[in-house]
């Protein structure tokens, strides 16, 4: 039997590309360039499966009047707000993601951002590299303590829970969570967290806020000027979820005018473009969407995507079907 024809839209870790080649007739993207919508449409019309990433254009319009050959679009990543899920469903295309394998890795990066923003690590590094460090003094690069402070988590899925464990058991933080549905008391107990009813209840109580909710229309600008205003002026906002969850222009104003003290961001509204105002904010730590970027996790994500298409071609429902 002929192997299914599969397209990897970006360069994947070598071991995963090798594993893919054993199972499928694979086409690679040696230029490692993101796909435009028209390239994505022709890929969906010519391959049996397309394995996409957050950088490919799979939004509204991709599936309109499409004559797909592909019946599965496997996303390399847990978040899928960049994909027109309804359009894919209407076109008869199964969409999968890669949950679980990146929980710890992403929570580690959220904690990194929280610590960097609290301790002004980016600023300090910039000072040293610029040759501007004049030596130790009691008032130099004074940040804020993390241990024992209150962390608010918005969105309490697997990554939010991993963040809560780190904060509570690692740093003795009090953890408050806001989630659309009631969280199982056993999960709250195990992560040392307390649920509050609304985002408005959460924000004024917290020294740090970390976002772990999905992106997409439903959470667009969940953190806007009004909600930034509800945060303590000493508070720090961390975003490893999706750029659109935060109104970036409002965040720039808040950071420049002392509405909040700092931010740690791994995701942005128009990646890879960054709001120019953010680049001017010394109190913002800016990372290039690195939440899942460890060797182990990137291999884990690839293997998980391969497993999903393997299950699909074996006639089973993939473990991580999202539509
Ligand atoms: C991925 C992510 O690297 O999984 C996600 O949702 O944001 C990142 O970990 C990215 O989505 C690759 O497609």
Domain that holds residue 60: 5-101+295-313
How many other C-beta atoms can be found within 10 angstroms of the C-beta atom of residue 240?
A: 27
The reply to whether 227 belongs to the active site is: no
274 shares its domain with 299: no
The reply to whether 304 belongs to the active site is: no
The reply to whether 168 belongs to the active site is: no
pTM of the model: 0.97
Q: Rounded to the nearest whole angstrom, what is the distance from the C-alpha of residue 2 to the centroid of ligand 1? A: 31
The catalytic position among 17, 39, 127, 271 is: 271
Please name the residue whose Cα sits nearest to atom 5 of ligand 1: 77
The catalytic position among 41, 120, 275, 289 is: 289
Which pLDDT band holds residue 238 (cuts at 50, 70, 90)?
very high
Taking residues 108-132, what's their average pLDDT?
98
Task: Tell me whether residue 32 is in a domain.
Answer: yes
Q: Using a 6 Å cutoff on CB, does residue 79 contact ligand 1?
A: yes
263: domain CATH number is 3.40.50.720
35 shares its domain with 111: no
The catalytic position among 242, 275, 298, 304 is: 242
- Number of domains present in the structure of the chain: 2
52 shares its domain with 73: yes
% residues pLDDT > 90 (the chain) = 99
Q: Using a 6 Å cutoff on CB, does residue 292 contact ligand 1?
A: yes
**41 contacts: CB under 8 Å, gap ≥ 6:** 62, 66
pLDDT digits (tens, 9 = 90+) for 136-183: 999 999 999 999 999 999 999 999 999 999 999 999 999 999 999 999
């Amino acid at each position: 039997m002929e192997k299914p024809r599969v397209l990897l839209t970006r360069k994947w870790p070598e071991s995963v590309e090798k594993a893919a080649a054993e199972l499928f007739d694979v086409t690679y993207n040696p230029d490692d360039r993101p796909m435009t919508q028209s390239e994505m449409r022709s890929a969906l019309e010519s391959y049996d499966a397309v394995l996409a990433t957050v950088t490919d254009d799979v939004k509204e319009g991709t599936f309109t009047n499409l004559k797909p050959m592909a019946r599965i679009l496997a996303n390399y990543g847990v978040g899928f707000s960049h994909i027109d899920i309804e359009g894919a469903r209407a076109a008869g295309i199964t969409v999968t993601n890669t949950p679980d394998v990146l929980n710890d890795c992403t929570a580690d990066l959220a904690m990194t951002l929280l610590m960097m923003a609290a301790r002004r690590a980016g600023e300090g590094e910039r000072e040293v590299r610029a040759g501007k460090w004049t030596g130790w003094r009691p008032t130099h690069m004074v940040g804020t303590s993390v241990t024992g402070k209150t962390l608010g988590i918005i969105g309490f899925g697997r990554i939010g829970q991993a963040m809560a464990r780190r904060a509570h058991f690692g740093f003795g933080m009090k953890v408050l969570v806001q989630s659309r549905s009631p969280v199982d008391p056993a999960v709250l107990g195990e992560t040392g967290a307390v649920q509050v009813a609304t985002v408005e209840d959460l924000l004024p109580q917290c020294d740090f806020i970390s976002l772990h909710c999905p992106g997409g229309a439903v959470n667009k600008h969940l953190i806007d000027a009004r909600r930034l205003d509800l945060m303590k002026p000493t508070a720090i906002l961390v975003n490893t979820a999706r750029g659109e969850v935060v109104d970036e222009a409002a965040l720039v104003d808040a950071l420049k005018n002392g509405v909040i003290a700092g931010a740690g961001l791994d995701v942005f509204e128009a990646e890879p473009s960054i709001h120019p105002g953010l680049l001017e904010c010394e109190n913002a730590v800016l990372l290039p969407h690195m939440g899942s970027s460890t060797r182990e996790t990137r291999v884990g994500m690839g293997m998980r995507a391969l497993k999903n298409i393997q299950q699909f071609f074996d006639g089973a429902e993939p473990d991580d079907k999202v539509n």
